[in-house]
């Protein structure tokens, strides 16, 4: 089973959309909230480092691979590529 991490904020429609797709596909994921978006927030800094400087949410990782945001996740699913990524180890 793929290990999915998603960095999110409360009241973020893009985060909700990405989580909804993962839930629809019956995928378990670890949600990492970064609601205290400031330079001293360790989760926010971690997200930026892991995503090569991305500052928007959600940022999604599957088995450590940076997928991108909500639009990227949905595009991968629409193109049939998400299932391939989910099955890679």
Query: How much is the average pLDDT of 62-81?
Result: 97
Is residue 66 predicted with pLDDT exceeding 60?
A: yes
pLDDT of residue 38: 58
The pLDDT tens digits for 18-64 are 999 999 999 999 999 998 655 568 899 999 999 999 999 999 999 99
Q: What is the pTM of this model?
A: 0.92
Q: What angle do CA 76, 3, 10 make, to 5 degrees?
A: 75
| Eight-class DSSP state of 80 | T
CATH 3.40.30.10 fits 4-87, yes or no: yes
Closest by alpha carbon to 5, among 69, 63, 76?
63
């Amino acid at each position: 089973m793929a290990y999915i991490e998603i960095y999110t904020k409360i009241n973020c429609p893009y985060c909700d959309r990405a989580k909804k797709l993962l839930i629809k596909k019956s995928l378990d994921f670890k949600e990492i909230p970064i609601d205290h978006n400031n330079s001293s927030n360790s989760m926010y800094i971690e997200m930026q480092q892991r995503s090569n400087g991305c500052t928007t949410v959600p940022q999604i990782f599957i088995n450590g691979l940076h997928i991108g945001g909500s639009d990227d996740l949905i595009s991968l699913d629409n193109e049939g590529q998400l299932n391939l990524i989910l099955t890679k180890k």
